[in-house]
Chain A
């Protein structure tokens, strides 16, 4: 198998998932992956350290996304439907109750500032330092956005649950505060 085939097989799926979390559209995500490998075909030989290929690919995809978003001037934030938050059980804590589709929807509803580092974090392909390299932001900023982003994720889910007629779920710290 050629080096290029190995690279595609190793990375096209997580690249697509990252592209999907950015673009929120399967066609555009596929386009981003295509463009990324096309650029690799043209310029990848300039990368001396082949161990950095993964970071190179994710960085390129992210830059292609930004270039496309700048042209279309769109960074939409999507409101979630209440119907996506039917929980299975009152006893389930927030994290276990939400299913995969809703989890992705919650993530996709975040502002791009948080969505990009969170998607890379949850894909587990990169350490926070590598995420900083992909997004071209300082490491401290990455940690801050991951931290704030995760708090916002939890807050979004709690707010939706609080607004739903089905169930109210509190996390353990809120339960402690309520009980005094």
Chain B
């Protein structure tokens, strides 16, 4: 082995000495012991490498990343047999449904969205819902759920509380398929007045970045359990479109997971693998809020 070949090999020798017992480096290290110039070169090389290794160790780990990893696991692979729950919802729902006019077209549109989503390669999104969800019955159940959101007169009145992830999944599916605002307003005050007249929950706790010059309008929704919810539409220059659902906290079976708006952060913002919306949620006195957007999570969190 000549000196240049030894240098080539030793450039892959880790500066912390982890490769000391690696036989791939034995011959090159033997040469270093015999050649003073090579020894000096290796010492300089390892010092240079150690500097970069130390520099990489100073890259800050974001606060809460570890907790976020574990939080995400609650939504993915948590051991709950979600497919049987969805199947039960589907069977129950279909037993009571009388399809309204136009539902067929709405379902076909939503199915095309789902088909395109399932074709895509692994995305850069954060949360991955269990793939066992996406069997035919589950997709159909999601479509029925989304139909329940589109058509307020669908009122199965099961009196069940719904889980946060079911609500956000339904909301995202509706938004992807199609939606129409029932009212156009450009101030939050006017929007809340309309909601109050309609007997719908008002948006009292809104991210600071959406309070002025962002409201576009709203819509009323009736959930599967008969609860009426508000949907507000926002569009903010250079940030994108945002959709805010407001409903009673008592409608959620897992409302205890929600934080107050001033606690919203990276940990409480996730991505839905099915609908590709970024989602965050919070609660105030008696009300729960879900904010959805296709904007980046960082952009969403900057609204708060």
Binding site for B on A (CB under 8 A): 4-5, 8-9, 12-13, 16-17, 20-21, 26-28, 30-35, 37-39, 41-42, 64, 67-68, 71, 93-96, 98-101, 103-104, 107, 118-119, 121-124, 127-129, 142-143, 146-147, 150, 153-154, 172
**B18 an interface residue at 8 Å Cβ cutoff?**
yes
B14 and A127: CB pair below 8 A? Answer: yes
Query: A26 to chain B: which residues have CB within 8 Å?
Result: 60, 62
A30 to B72, CA, bound (A): 12
Of the A-B pairs whose beta carbons lie under 8 Å apart in the complex, a sample of 9, sorted by A's number, is A27-B297, A30-B266, A31-B124, A35-B126, A64-B124, A96-B47, A104-B59, A122-B52, A124-B16
B69 and A33: CB pair below 8 A? Answer: yes
Query: B19 to chain A: which residues have CB within 8 Å?
Result: 127
Known pairs A5-B70, A95-B51, A147-B8; A34 contacts B59 (CB<8 A): no
B61 and A16: CB pair below 8 A? Answer: yes
Query: B22 to chain A: which residues have CB within 8 Å?
Result: 127
**B136 an interface residue at 8 Å Cβ cutoff?**
no
**B48 an interface residue at 8 Å Cβ cutoff?**
yes
User: B116-141: contact bitstring with A at CB < 8 Å (1 yes, 0 no)?
Assistant: 00000111111110110000000000
B52 and A34: CB pair below 8 A? Answer: no
A107 to B72, CA, bound (A): 31
Binding site for A on B (CB under 8 A): 8-9, 11-12, 14-16, 18-19, 22, 24, 44-45, 47-49, 51-62, 65-66, 68-70, 72-73, 76-77, 121-128, 130-131, 266, 296-298
Smallest CB-CB separation from A28: which chain B residue?
B124
B16 and A150: CB pair below 8 A? Answer: no
A104 and B58: CB pair below 8 A? Answer: yes
Known pairs A21-B56, A127-B18; A38 contacts B127 (CB<8 A): yes
- What is the minimal beta-carbon distance from A13 to any residue of chain B, in angstroms? 5
A8 and B69: CB pair below 8 A? Answer: yes
B51 and A34: CB pair below 8 A? Answer: no
Known pairs A8-B70, A64-B124; A107 contacts B52 (CB<8 A): yes
Smallest CB-CB separation from A126: which chain B residue?
B14
B52 and A103: CB pair below 8 A? Answer: yes
A17 to B62, CA, bound (A): 11
A41 and B73: CB pair below 8 A? Answer: yes
A16 to B125, CA, bound (A): 16
Known pairs A8-B70, A30-B68, A35-B126; A17 contacts B56 (CB<8 A): yes
Q: Which single member of B11, B45, B128, B130 contacts A35 (CB below 8 Å)?
A: B128
Known pairs A30-B266, A37-B69, A42-B76; A67 contacts B54 (CB<8 A): no
Known pairs A38-B76, A104-B55; A27 contacts B65 (CB<8 A): no
A123 and B126: CB pair below 8 A? Answer: no
Smallest CB-CB separation from A70: which chain B residue?
B121
Known pairs A30-B266, A146-B12; A37 contacts B62 (CB<8 A): no
A34 and B44: CB pair below 8 A? Answer: no
Known pairs A64-B122, A95-B48, A100-B55; A147 contacts B69 (CB<8 A): no
B66 and A12: CB pair below 8 A? Answer: yes
- What is the minimal beta-carbon distance from A118 to any residue of chain B, in angstroms? 8
Known pairs A13-B61, A28-B124, A68-B124; A38 contacts B72 (CB<8 A): yes
A33 and B65: CB pair below 8 A? Answer: yes
A30 and B65: CB pair below 8 A? Answer: yes
- What is the minimal beta-carbon distance from B26 to any residue of chain A, in angstroms? 14
16 additional A-B residue pairs with CB within 8 Å, beyond A35-B128, A37-B72? A4-B73, A17-B57, A17-B61, A32-B124, A33-B65, A34-B126, A35-B124, A71-B121, A71-B123, A95-B47, A101-B58, A104-B56, A107-B56, A124-B18, A142-B12, A143-B12
- What is the minimal beta-carbon distance from A55 to any residue of chain B, in angstroms? 15
A95 and B124: CB pair below 8 A? Answer: no
A147 to B54, CA, bound (A): 19
B76 and A122: CB pair below 8 A? Answer: no
B55 and A103: CB pair below 8 A? Answer: yes
Known pairs A27-B298, A122-B52, A150-B48; A35 contacts B125 (CB<8 A): yes
